[in-house]
Protein backbone atom coordinates (compact mmCIF):
# COMPACT_ATOMS: atom_id res chain seq x y z
CA UNK A 1 0.00 0.00 0.00
CA UNK A 2 2.88 2.36 0.88
CA UNK A 3 4.46 1.62 -2.52
CA UNK A 4 1.16 2.42 -4.27
CA UNK A 5 0.74 5.72 -2.45
CA UNK A 6 4.36 6.67 -3.15
CA UNK A 7 3.90 5.87 -6.85
CA UNK A 8 0.76 8.00 -7.08
CA UNK A 9 2.52 10.90 -5.38
CA UNK A 10 5.41 10.67 -7.81
CA UNK A 11 2.97 10.76 -10.73
CA UNK A 12 1.23 13.80 -9.27
CA UNK A 13 4.59 15.43 -8.70
CA UNK A 14 5.58 14.82 -12.33
CA UNK A 15 2.37 16.02 -13.97
CA UNK A 16 0.16 19.06 -13.66
CA UNK A 17 -3.52 18.29 -13.19
CA UNK A 18 -5.56 20.70 -15.28
CA UNK A 19 -8.94 21.28 -13.64
CA UNK A 20 -11.58 23.59 -15.02
CA UNK A 21 -13.04 25.47 -12.07
CA UNK A 22 -16.58 26.79 -12.08
CA UNK A 23 -17.69 29.04 -9.22
CA UNK A 24 -21.49 29.23 -8.89
CA UNK A 25 -23.15 31.98 -6.86
CA UNK A 26 -26.85 32.46 -6.21
CA UNK A 27 -29.41 35.27 -6.31
CA UNK A 28 -33.19 35.60 -6.10
CA UNK A 29 -35.85 37.58 -7.92
CA UNK A 30 -39.65 37.69 -8.13
CA UNK A 31 -41.47 37.09 -4.82
CA UNK A 32 -38.15 37.14 -2.93
CA UNK A 33 -34.68 38.50 -3.64
CA UNK A 34 -32.90 36.43 -0.99
CA UNK A 35 -31.88 32.78 -1.18
CA UNK A 36 -31.97 30.88 2.13
CA UNK A 37 -30.47 27.61 0.88
CA UNK A 38 -29.73 25.66 -2.27
CA UNK A 39 -29.98 21.90 -2.69
CA UNK A 40 -27.60 20.73 -5.40
CA UNK A 41 -28.18 17.36 -7.05
CA UNK A 42 -25.66 15.94 -9.51
CA UNK A 43 -28.06 13.89 -11.62
CA UNK A 44 -25.21 12.23 -13.50
CA UNK A 45 -23.69 10.83 -10.31
CA UNK A 46 -26.81 10.74 -8.06
CA UNK A 47 -25.06 12.75 -5.35
CA UNK A 48 -26.33 15.83 -3.53
CA UNK A 49 -25.49 18.48 -0.98
CA UNK A 50 -27.17 21.53 0.57
CA UNK A 51 -25.46 24.88 1.06
CA UNK A 52 -26.48 28.34 2.23
CA UNK A 53 -27.68 30.81 -0.37
CA UNK A 54 -24.73 33.07 0.47
CA UNK A 55 -22.22 30.26 -0.15
CA UNK A 56 -20.30 29.70 -3.37
CA UNK A 57 -20.49 26.30 -5.05
CA UNK A 58 -17.06 25.27 -6.34
CA UNK A 59 -17.11 22.76 -9.20
CA UNK A 60 -14.00 21.47 -10.87
CA UNK A 61 -13.56 18.96 -13.67
CA UNK A 62 -10.21 17.45 -14.51
CA UNK A 63 -9.69 17.82 -18.25
CA UNK A 64 -6.20 16.46 -18.77
CA UNK A 65 -2.54 16.44 -17.67
CA UNK A 66 0.52 18.26 -18.92
CA UNK A 67 4.14 17.73 -17.90
CA UNK A 68 5.77 20.31 -15.66
CA UNK A 69 9.12 20.68 -13.85
CA UNK A 70 8.96 19.69 -10.20
CA UNK A 71 10.97 21.19 -7.38
CA UNK A 72 10.54 20.75 -3.66
CA UNK A 73 12.56 23.82 -2.76
CA UNK A 74 10.94 27.25 -2.71
CA UNK A 75 7.82 26.25 -0.75
CA UNK A 76 7.78 25.80 3.01
CA UNK A 77 4.85 24.04 4.69
CA UNK A 78 4.52 23.97 8.49
CA UNK A 79 3.49 21.97 10.35
CA UNK A 80 3.83 18.99 8.01
CA UNK A 81 2.45 16.45 8.82
CA UNK A 82 -0.48 18.75 9.51
CA UNK A 83 -3.25 18.39 12.14
CA UNK A 84 -5.73 19.67 9.52
CA UNK A 85 -4.30 23.16 9.15
CA UNK A 86 -0.96 24.58 8.06
CA UNK A 87 0.91 27.66 6.88
CA UNK A 88 2.59 27.90 3.47
CA UNK A 89 5.48 30.29 2.84
CA UNK A 90 6.49 31.32 -0.68
CA UNK A 91 9.04 33.86 -1.93
CA UNK A 92 8.42 36.04 -5.00
CA UNK A 93 11.28 37.80 -6.78
CA UNK A 94 8.96 40.43 -8.27
CA UNK A 95 5.32 41.53 -8.26
CA UNK A 96 3.34 38.65 -9.82
CA UNK A 97 0.07 36.71 -9.85
CA UNK A 98 0.52 33.53 -7.82
CA UNK A 99 -1.88 30.60 -7.58
CA UNK A 100 -1.85 28.11 -4.73
CA UNK A 101 -3.74 24.84 -5.08
CA UNK A 102 -4.18 21.67 -3.04
CA UNK A 103 -4.89 18.33 -4.79
CA UNK A 104 -5.77 14.96 -3.30
CA UNK A 105 -3.99 11.74 -4.30
CA UNK A 106 -6.47 11.23 -7.16
CA UNK A 107 -5.65 14.60 -8.68
CA UNK A 108 -8.90 16.29 -7.62
CA UNK A 109 -8.61 19.95 -6.66
CA UNK A 110 -9.51 20.53 -3.00
CA UNK A 111 -8.56 24.21 -2.69
CA UNK A 112 -7.40 26.91 -5.09
CA UNK A 113 -6.79 30.64 -4.79
CA UNK A 114 -5.02 33.26 -6.93
CA UNK A 115 -3.52 36.48 -5.53
CA UNK A 116 -1.44 39.37 -6.91
CA UNK A 117 1.57 39.71 -4.60
CA UNK A 118 4.55 42.03 -4.28
CA UNK A 119 8.22 41.02 -4.12
CA UNK A 120 9.12 39.23 -0.90
CA UNK A 121 8.14 36.29 1.27
CA UNK A 122 4.42 35.64 1.62
CA UNK A 123 2.15 33.51 3.80
CA UNK A 124 -0.94 31.48 2.96
CA UNK A 125 -2.96 29.68 5.63
CA UNK A 126 -5.04 26.53 4.99
CA UNK A 127 -7.50 24.81 7.31
CA UNK A 128 -10.21 22.13 7.19
CA UNK A 129 -7.85 19.69 5.42
CA UNK A 130 -9.22 16.18 5.90
CA UNK A 131 -6.93 13.28 6.74
CA UNK A 132 -4.95 12.14 3.72
CA UNK A 133 -1.96 12.74 1.45
CA UNK A 134 -1.96 15.77 -0.87
CA UNK A 135 0.14 17.66 -3.39
CA UNK A 136 0.43 21.40 -2.77
CA UNK A 137 1.19 23.44 -5.90
CA UNK A 138 2.34 27.08 -6.01
CA UNK A 139 2.40 28.50 -9.52
CA UNK A 140 3.29 31.84 -11.14
CA UNK A 141 4.58 32.94 -14.52
CA UNK A 142 8.08 32.77 -13.01
CA UNK A 143 8.04 29.38 -11.33
CA UNK A 144 6.12 26.28 -10.40
CA UNK A 145 6.68 24.45 -7.13
CA UNK A 146 5.08 21.29 -5.76
CA UNK A 147 5.40 19.60 -2.38
CA UNK A 148 3.80 16.74 -0.50
CA UNK A 149 1.44 17.57 2.37
CA UNK A 150 0.25 14.96 4.87
CA UNK A 151 -2.82 15.67 7.04
CA UNK A 152 -3.52 13.74 10.24
CA UNK A 153 -6.70 15.68 11.01
CA UNK A 154 -9.01 14.25 13.67
CA UNK A 155 -11.88 16.67 12.99
CA UNK A 156 -13.56 17.65 9.71
CA UNK A 157 -14.78 21.01 8.45
CA UNK A 158 -15.07 22.82 5.12
CA UNK A 159 -11.59 23.43 3.63
CA UNK A 160 -10.54 27.09 3.47
CA UNK A 161 -7.52 28.90 2.05
CA UNK A 162 -6.53 32.49 2.92
CA UNK A 163 -3.70 34.74 1.76
CA UNK A 164 -2.11 36.48 4.76
CA UNK A 165 0.36 38.87 3.14
CA UNK A 166 4.09 39.44 3.60
CA UNK A 167 5.85 37.65 6.44
CA UNK A 168 6.80 39.73 9.47
CA UNK A 169 4.43 41.45 11.90
CA UNK A 170 0.83 40.52 12.69
CA UNK A 171 0.51 37.93 9.92
CA UNK A 172 3.14 35.76 11.60
CA UNK A 173 1.10 35.21 14.76
CA UNK A 174 0.95 31.47 15.60
CA UNK A 175 -1.57 29.50 13.52
CA UNK A 176 -3.72 28.45 16.47
CA UNK A 177 -4.35 32.09 17.41
CA UNK A 178 -5.52 32.94 13.86
CA UNK A 179 -7.67 29.94 12.92
CA UNK A 180 -10.99 31.34 14.15
CA UNK A 181 -10.29 34.76 12.66
CA UNK A 182 -9.44 33.25 9.29
CA UNK A 183 -12.61 31.18 9.05
CA UNK A 184 -14.84 34.15 9.75
CA UNK A 185 -13.18 36.89 7.73
CA UNK A 186 -13.75 38.29 4.30
CA UNK A 187 -17.11 36.79 3.33
CA UNK A 188 -20.61 36.07 4.63
CA UNK A 189 -20.53 32.68 2.90
CA UNK A 190 -18.19 29.76 2.40
CA UNK A 191 -16.79 28.01 -0.63
CA UNK A 192 -18.38 24.56 -0.81
CA UNK A 193 -16.73 21.95 -3.02
CA UNK A 194 -18.60 19.30 -4.99
CA UNK A 195 -17.27 16.50 -7.13
CA UNK A 196 -18.01 17.26 -10.76
CA UNK A 197 -17.10 15.75 -14.11
CA UNK A 198 -17.31 17.61 -17.41
CA UNK A 199 -20.75 17.01 -18.93
CA UNK A 200 -22.58 16.36 -15.64
CA UNK A 201 -26.14 17.68 -15.18
CA UNK A 202 -26.98 19.61 -12.01
CA UNK A 203 -30.43 20.24 -10.57
CA UNK A 204 -30.47 23.25 -8.25
CA UNK A 205 -33.40 23.86 -5.90
CA UNK A 206 -33.32 27.35 -4.40
CA UNK A 207 -35.38 27.97 -1.27
CA UNK A 208 -36.54 31.30 0.15
CA UNK A 209 -39.12 31.05 2.92
CA UNK A 210 -42.09 29.13 1.48
CA UNK A 211 -40.84 29.52 -2.08
CA UNK A 212 -38.81 26.89 -3.96
CA UNK A 213 -37.59 27.10 -7.54
CA UNK A 214 -35.67 24.55 -9.61
CA UNK A 215 -32.99 25.52 -12.11
CA UNK A 216 -31.16 23.08 -14.36
CA UNK A 217 -27.47 23.70 -14.90
CA UNK A 218 -25.06 22.20 -17.41
CA UNK A 219 -21.91 23.96 -16.16
CA UNK A 220 -19.44 25.34 -18.68
CA UNK A 221 -18.46 28.58 -16.93
CA UNK A 222 -18.54 30.40 -13.61
CA UNK A 223 -21.83 32.25 -13.18
CA UNK A 224 -24.56 33.53 -10.90
CA UNK A 225 -27.73 31.43 -10.91
CA UNK A 226 -30.85 33.54 -10.30
CA UNK A 227 -33.93 31.79 -8.94
CA UNK A 228 -37.30 33.26 -9.93
CA UNK A 229 -39.45 32.77 -6.84
CA UNK A 230 -43.22 32.58 -7.21
CA UNK A 231 -45.99 31.52 -4.84
CA UNK A 232 -47.40 28.04 -5.47
CA UNK A 233 -49.40 27.12 -2.35
CA UNK A 234 -52.61 25.09 -2.28
CA UNK A 235 -55.61 25.27 0.07
CA UNK A 236 -53.89 22.77 2.42
CA UNK A 237 -50.86 25.11 2.65
CA UNK A 238 -48.65 22.73 0.73
CA UNK A 239 -45.89 24.79 -0.90
CA UNK A 240 -44.63 23.42 -4.21
CA UNK A 241 -41.35 23.81 -6.03
CA UNK A 242 -41.66 25.22 -9.56
CA UNK A 243 -39.58 24.83 -12.71
CA UNK A 244 -39.43 26.82 -15.95
CA UNK A 245 -39.50 24.63 -19.08
CA UNK A 246 -39.46 26.70 -22.24
CA UNK A 247 -42.15 29.38 -21.98
CA UNK A 248 -44.10 27.46 -19.31
CA UNK A 249 -43.82 27.51 -15.53
CA UNK A 250 -44.76 24.10 -14.09
CA UNK A 251 -45.22 22.71 -10.63
CA UNK A 252 -42.16 20.52 -10.11
CA UNK A 253 -44.06 18.19 -7.77
CA UNK A 254 -47.31 16.24 -7.95
CA UNK A 255 -50.37 17.85 -6.39
CA UNK A 256 -51.28 16.64 -2.89
CA UNK A 257 -54.16 18.90 -1.86
CA UNK A 258 -57.25 17.50 -0.12
CA UNK A 259 -59.23 20.71 -0.68
CA UNK A 260 -60.53 22.81 -3.52
CA UNK A 261 -59.38 26.41 -3.77
CA UNK A 262 -62.40 27.67 -1.76
CA UNK A 263 -61.47 25.40 1.15
CA UNK A 264 -64.16 22.77 0.59
CA UNK A 265 -63.04 19.15 0.93
CA UNK A 266 -62.21 16.77 -1.88
CA UNK A 267 -63.40 13.42 -0.46
CA UNK A 268 -60.87 10.68 0.20
CA UNK A 269 -62.37 7.42 -1.12
CA UNK A 270 -60.34 4.32 -0.17
CA UNK A 271 -62.99 1.67 -1.01
CA UNK A 272 -62.57 0.22 -4.51
CA UNK A 273 -66.26 -0.44 -5.23
CA UNK A 274 -67.25 3.07 -4.11
CA UNK A 275 -64.45 4.58 -6.20
CA UNK A 276 -65.60 2.72 -9.31
CA UNK A 277 -69.12 4.18 -9.04
CA UNK A 278 -68.16 7.83 -8.51
CA UNK A 279 -69.20 10.68 -10.81
CA UNK A 280 -67.93 13.39 -8.46
CA UNK A 281 -64.45 14.45 -7.39
CA UNK A 282 -62.31 12.26 -5.13
CA UNK A 283 -58.72 11.51 -4.20
CA UNK A 284 -56.77 8.58 -2.77
CA UNK A 285 -53.23 7.43 -2.09
CA UNK A 286 -51.81 4.53 -4.03
CA UNK A 287 -52.85 1.34 -2.21
CA UNK A 288 -54.29 3.73 0.43
CA UNK A 289 -50.81 4.17 1.87
CA UNK A 290 -50.29 7.69 3.33
CA UNK A 291 -46.53 7.40 2.80
CA UNK A 292 -47.16 7.03 -0.94
CA UNK A 293 -49.23 10.23 -0.98
CA UNK A 294 -46.63 12.13 1.02
CA UNK A 295 -43.78 11.20 -1.30
CA UNK A 296 -45.53 10.89 -4.67
CA UNK A 297 -48.65 13.06 -4.35
CA UNK A 298 -52.30 12.01 -4.32
CA UNK A 299 -54.24 10.34 -7.12
CA UNK A 300 -57.41 12.11 -8.34
CA UNK A 301 -60.29 11.19 -10.62
CA UNK A 302 -61.06 13.54 -13.50
CA UNK A 303 -64.20 14.84 -11.78
CA UNK A 304 -61.97 16.55 -9.21
CA UNK A 305 -59.84 18.01 -12.02
CA UNK A 306 -62.90 19.40 -13.81
CA UNK A 307 -64.63 20.78 -10.71
CA UNK A 308 -65.27 24.53 -11.02
CA UNK A 309 -63.96 25.08 -7.48
CA UNK A 310 -60.45 24.45 -8.87
CA UNK A 311 -57.93 22.21 -7.11
CA UNK A 312 -54.76 24.10 -8.09
CA UNK A 313 -53.08 26.94 -6.16
CA UNK A 314 -54.33 30.46 -6.92
CA UNK A 315 -52.78 31.63 -10.19
CA UNK A 316 -52.35 28.04 -11.40
CA UNK A 317 -54.47 25.52 -13.32
CA UNK A 318 -54.32 21.90 -14.43
CA UNK A 319 -52.38 21.77 -17.70
CA UNK A 320 -54.56 21.20 -20.76
CA UNK A 321 -53.99 18.74 -23.60
CA UNK A 322 -52.65 21.57 -25.80
CA UNK A 323 -50.33 22.83 -23.03
CA UNK A 324 -48.84 19.37 -22.79
CA UNK A 325 -48.36 19.54 -26.57
CA UNK A 326 -46.37 22.76 -26.13
CA UNK A 327 -44.14 21.04 -23.57
CA UNK A 328 -43.63 18.07 -25.87
CA UNK A 329 -42.72 20.24 -28.85
CA UNK A 330 -40.25 22.20 -26.76
CA UNK A 331 -38.53 19.00 -25.62
CA UNK A 332 -38.59 17.36 -29.06
CA UNK A 333 -39.49 19.45 -32.11
CA UNK A 334 -40.04 16.30 -34.20
CA UNK A 335 -42.74 14.83 -31.94
CA UNK A 336 -46.13 14.05 -33.48
CA UNK A 337 -48.60 15.73 -31.13
CA UNK A 338 -51.56 14.16 -32.98
CA UNK A 339 -50.37 10.62 -32.30
CA UNK A 340 -52.36 8.28 -30.09
CA UNK A 341 -50.24 6.13 -27.80
CA UNK A 342 -46.49 6.44 -27.53
CA UNK A 343 -44.59 9.27 -29.21
CA UNK A 344 -41.41 11.28 -28.66
CA UNK A 345 -38.83 8.57 -28.08
CA UNK A 346 -36.72 10.69 -25.71
CA UNK A 347 -39.38 12.73 -23.90
CA UNK A 348 -40.07 10.09 -21.27
CA UNK A 349 -36.44 9.99 -20.22
CA UNK A 350 -36.18 13.80 -20.19
CA UNK A 351 -39.17 14.06 -17.81
CA UNK A 352 -38.51 11.09 -15.52
CA UNK A 353 -36.62 11.48 -12.27
CA UNK A 354 -33.24 9.86 -12.77
CA UNK A 355 -32.04 8.79 -9.32
CA UNK A 356 -35.02 6.68 -8.32
CA UNK A 357 -34.96 2.88 -8.43
CA UNK A 358 -38.71 2.65 -9.12
CA UNK A 359 -38.01 3.78 -12.68
CA UNK A 360 -35.15 1.35 -13.27
CA UNK A 361 -35.64 -1.08 -16.13
CA UNK A 362 -32.84 -0.83 -18.67
CA UNK A 363 -30.29 1.72 -19.86
CA UNK A 364 -32.51 3.05 -22.66
CA UNK A 365 -35.61 3.79 -20.56
CA UNK A 366 -34.56 5.14 -17.17
CA UNK A 367 -34.91 8.87 -16.48
CA UNK A 368 -32.28 11.56 -16.93
CA UNK A 369 -34.54 14.44 -15.76
CA UNK A 370 -32.66 16.99 -17.87
CA UNK A 371 -35.69 19.35 -17.94
CA UNK A 372 -36.10 19.28 -14.14
CA UNK A 373 -39.72 18.07 -14.36
CA UNK A 374 -38.88 15.21 -11.97
CA UNK A 375 -41.70 12.82 -12.86
CA UNK A 376 -41.88 10.17 -10.14
CA UNK A 377 -43.00 6.57 -10.58
CA UNK A 378 -46.34 6.95 -8.77
CA UNK A 379 -48.57 4.31 -10.43
CA UNK A 380 -52.33 4.85 -10.71
CA UNK A 381 -55.81 3.59 -9.87
CA UNK A 382 -58.01 2.04 -12.52
CA UNK A 383 -61.60 3.12 -13.27
CA UNK A 384 -62.90 0.09 -11.37
CA UNK A 385 -60.99 1.13 -8.25
CA UNK A 386 -58.29 -1.55 -8.46
CA UNK A 387 -54.57 -0.81 -8.26
CA UNK A 388 -52.33 -1.04 -11.28
CA UNK A 389 -49.48 -3.06 -9.70
CA UNK A 390 -48.12 -4.16 -6.35
CA UNK A 391 -46.40 -1.29 -4.50
CA UNK A 392 -42.96 -2.94 -4.54
CA UNK A 393 -42.88 -3.40 -8.33
CA UNK A 394 -41.58 -1.02 -10.98
CA UNK A 395 -44.52 0.68 -12.65
CA UNK A 396 -45.85 3.73 -14.49
CA UNK A 397 -46.92 7.32 -13.90
CA UNK A 398 -49.81 9.17 -15.47
CA UNK A 399 -51.09 12.76 -15.38
CA UNK A 400 -54.56 14.09 -16.09
CA UNK A 401 -54.86 16.96 -18.51
CA UNK A 402 -57.72 19.44 -18.07
CA UNK A 403 -59.21 18.40 -21.43
CA UNK A 404 -62.23 16.13 -21.69
CA UNK A 405 -62.38 13.75 -24.67
CA UNK A 406 -66.04 12.72 -24.37
CA UNK A 407 -68.64 12.14 -21.66
CA UNK A 408 -66.76 9.27 -20.06
CA UNK A 409 -63.09 9.87 -21.00
CA UNK A 410 -60.44 12.58 -20.77
CA UNK A 411 -56.93 13.12 -22.13
CA UNK A 412 -53.94 12.11 -20.06
CA UNK A 413 -50.16 11.67 -20.39
CA UNK A 414 -48.36 8.59 -19.17
CA UNK A 415 -44.70 7.76 -18.61
CA UNK A 416 -44.03 4.04 -18.59
CA UNK A 417 -41.21 2.31 -16.74
CA UNK A 418 -40.36 0.03 -19.70
CA UNK A 419 -40.46 2.73 -22.45
CA UNK A 420 -38.61 5.99 -23.08
CA UNK A 421 -41.51 7.82 -24.79
CA UNK A 422 -44.55 9.77 -23.59
CA UNK A 423 -47.95 8.11 -23.99
CA UNK A 424 -51.10 10.09 -24.80
CA UNK A 425 -54.63 8.67 -24.72
CA UNK A 426 -58.03 9.14 -23.04
CA UNK A 427 -58.82 6.75 -20.17
CA UNK A 428 -62.04 6.66 -18.19
CA UNK A 429 -62.70 9.71 -16.03
CA UNK A 430 -63.19 7.41 -13.03
CA UNK A 431 -59.47 6.49 -13.03
CA UNK A 432 -57.10 7.88 -10.42
CA UNK A 433 -54.11 9.77 -11.84
CA UNK A 434 -51.49 12.28 -10.70
CA UNK A 435 -51.92 16.02 -11.38
CA UNK A 436 -49.47 18.76 -12.28
CA UNK A 437 -50.53 22.42 -12.39
CA UNK A 438 -49.14 25.11 -14.67
CA UNK A 439 -48.93 28.87 -14.09
CA UNK A 440 -51.69 31.05 -15.57
CA UNK A 441 -50.57 33.28 -18.44
pLDDT of residue 65: 35
Single pTM value for the model: 0.70
pLDDT of residue 195: 82
pLDDT of residue 156: 66
Round to whole Å and give the CA distance between 427 and 134.
Answer: 61
pLDDT of residue 131: 84
Mean pLDDT of the chain: 84
Q: Which of 212, 203, 259 is nearest to 232 (CA)?
A: 212
Low-confidence residues of the chain, pLDDT below 50?
A: 1-19, 62-73, 169-187
pLDDT of residue 161: 86
Q: Which residues contact 201 (CB under 8 A, 6 or more apart)?
A: 42, 43, 44, 216, 217, 218, 368, 369, 370
Domain positions in the chain are: 2-195, 238-439
Top-level CATH class of 2-195?
mainly beta
pLDDT of residue 265: 98
Query: CA 426, 431, 437, 441 torsion: positive or negative?
Result: positive
Amino acid sequence: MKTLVFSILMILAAFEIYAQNYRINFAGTGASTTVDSVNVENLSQCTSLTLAGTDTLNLNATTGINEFHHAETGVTIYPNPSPGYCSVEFEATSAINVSIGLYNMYGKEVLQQTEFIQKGKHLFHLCGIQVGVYILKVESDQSLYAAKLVSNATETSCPVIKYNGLTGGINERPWYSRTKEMKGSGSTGSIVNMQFNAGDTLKLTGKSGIYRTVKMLFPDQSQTVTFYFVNCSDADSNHYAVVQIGSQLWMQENLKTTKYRDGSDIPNVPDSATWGNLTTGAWCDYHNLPAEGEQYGHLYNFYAVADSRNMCPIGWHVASHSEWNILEKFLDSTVDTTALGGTGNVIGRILKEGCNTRWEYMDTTYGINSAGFTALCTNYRTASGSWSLAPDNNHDDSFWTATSYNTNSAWYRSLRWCYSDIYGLFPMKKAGQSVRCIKDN
